[in-house]
Amino acid sequence: MADVPRHRALGLTDAQVLEMYRYMALARAVDERMWLLNRAGKVPFVISCQGQEAAQAGAGFALDRGRDWLCPYYRDLCLVLIWGHTARTELLAAFAKAEDPNSGGRQMPGHYGDRRLRILSGSSPVGTQIPHAVGIALAMKMRGEDAVCYVSFGEGTSNQGDFHEALNFAGVHKLPVIFFCENNKYAISVPERRQLACANVADRAQGYGFEGVIVDGMDALEVYRVVREAVDKARRGGGPTLIEAKTYRLSPHSSDDDDRSYRSREEVEEARRGDGIERMRQYLVSVGLLDEEAEERMRQTIRAEVDEATEYAERAPYAAPETLMHHVYAEEV
């Protein structure tokens, strides 16, 4: 068994694990492009996924894109790309253009939503999506469907009342929800030790009567494994799981933040050495699935995709001002 590569032992094909890596690299490239556009004065705001791609990729592949539901949070760029969004849709959102499927340019970038793909629209007050996921899971249970609902949030959000109310509710009713905490160590400037009195967010699961699991969020395959287990359990009627993926936010909180005021460059550089994308790249090289040539091809394809998306989104029209009054209520246009 020793020579069976990890991904195959987990049930992932070679093509799937390469695809997982491609999504991580694509998410990073889209994210970096948004920063570039922001610093060039072309898009007013960016909120990043950098450092959290591996956690999102592992989770995204463990779910079923054909039936499961997402209540993502604003750093889940890699996840929504896996779920069917593209560089183009997210750059349309960054440029706030009418064709943006998330909100038609109404919301800031990172506020994902798409009914066609079962991604419930999210807002900015953190944690409000957690009870929504419980409600979706309740509907699944009531209708006897075997879909699960995945909801993600940061460790800072795990201090919100909605986190507690939602996890308790899901625990009482044994609902098929995957609570996925992307612990990136910072709530804007406040470090983990000033946010949590317990050692891990996952420890809190005990209070809700279900399992809490800690996973290295920089290891996409390990995240895949634990999320897959939680999903299988939820589909079998075994109830919710709280998973805490330990990651690191490599970028400032947003384009309006300066993280030099609250953490050292050495700390960030140290975290960068453990970047989940690099770890996945090394893994693929080690099992012979990726070489320099293949990597260069992938890089160029991604670059072309992001370039095309940028050009398209920049040229795309904004929402007409007269649409301001549309969709406050149904059929009101």
Partner 1 sequence: MAVKLYIEAIHDALAEEMARDARVFVLGEDVGVRGGVFRVTQGLLERFGEARVIDTPLTESAIVGVAIGASAAGLIPVAEIQFADFILPAVNQIISEAAKMRYRSNNDWNCPMVIRAPYGGGVHGALYHSQSVEALFTHVPGLKVVTPATPADAAGLLRAAIRDPDPVLYFEHKKLYRSVRGEVAESDDPVPIGRAKVQREGDDITVITYGLGVHLALEAAGRLADDGISAHVLDLRTLRPLDEEAILEAARRTGKVLIVHEDNKVCGVGAEVSAMIAEHALFDLDAPIRRLAGPEVPAMGFAPTLEKAYMLSVDGVAEAMRALARF
Interface residue with partner 1, options 16, 86, 121, 159 (CB under 8 A): 121
| Residue 184 in contact with partner 1, rule: CB under 8 A | no
Only segment of 33-41, 166-174, 231-239, 302-310 that touches partner 1 (CB under 8 A): 166-174
Smallest distance, partner 1 to C-beta of residue 118, A: 9
Residues 24-83 that bind partner 1 (CB under 8 A): 69, 71
| Residue 89 in contact with partner 1, rule: CB under 8 A | no
CA distance 150 to 321: 35
Only segment of 15-23, 169-177, 230-238, 305-313 that touches partner 1 (CB under 8 A): 169-177
Active site residue 249: yes
| Residue 329 in contact with partner 1, rule: CB under 8 A | yes
CA distances from 148 to 133, 142, 207, 236 (A): 9, 12, 22, 10
CA distance 73 to 212: 20
Active site residue 253: yes
| Residue 182 in contact with partner 1, rule: CB under 8 A | no
Retrieve residue 180's tokens. 């996925």
- For partner 1, the closer CB: 36 or 172: 172
Q: Which residues, in sequence order, are CB contacts of 324 under 8 Å at separation 6+?
A: none
Smallest distance, partner 1 to C-beta of residue 65, A: 17
CA distances from 261 to 35, 189, 240, 265, 274 (A): 19, 8, 38, 10, 23
Say how many residues touch partner 1, by CB under 8 A: 46
- For partner 1, the closer CB: 125 or 237: 125
Interface residue with partner 1, options 72, 109, 131, 239 (CB under 8 A): 131
- For partner 1, the closer CB: 285 or 319: 319
Radius of gyration of the chain (CA): 19
Only segment of 168-176, 220-228, 252-260, 278-286 that touches partner 1 (CB under 8 A): 168-176
Give strand ranges (E) for 192-239. 211-216
Interface residue with partner 1, options 166, 181, 214, 234 (CB under 8 A): 166
Smallest distance, partner 1 to C-beta of residue 139, A: 4
| Residue 206 in contact with partner 1, rule: CB under 8 A | no
At 178 the three-state DSSP class reads: strand
Contacts 24+ apart (CB under 8 A), 254-262: 254/45, 254/46, 254/47, 254/48, 255/35, 255/38, 255/39, 255/44, 255/45, 255/46, 255/47, 256/45, 257/188, 257/189, 259/186, 259/189, 261/189, 262/186, 262/189, 262/191
Interface residue with partner 1, options 7, 111, 225, 249 (CB under 8 A): 111
Interface residue with partner 1, options 5, 16, 86, 139 (CB under 8 A): 139
The dihedral formed by the CA atoms of 61, 67, 69 and 70, expressed in degrees to the nearest 10? 30
Q: Burial, 100: exposed, middle or buried (Cβ in 10 Å; 0-12, 13-18, 19+)?
A: buried
Which residues are near partner 1 by CB under 8 A?
69, 71, 101-104, 106-107, 111, 113-115, 120-121, 123-125, 128, 130-140, 142-143, 149, 161-162, 165-166, 168-169, 172-173, 326-331
Catalytically active residues, by annotation: 249, 253, 262
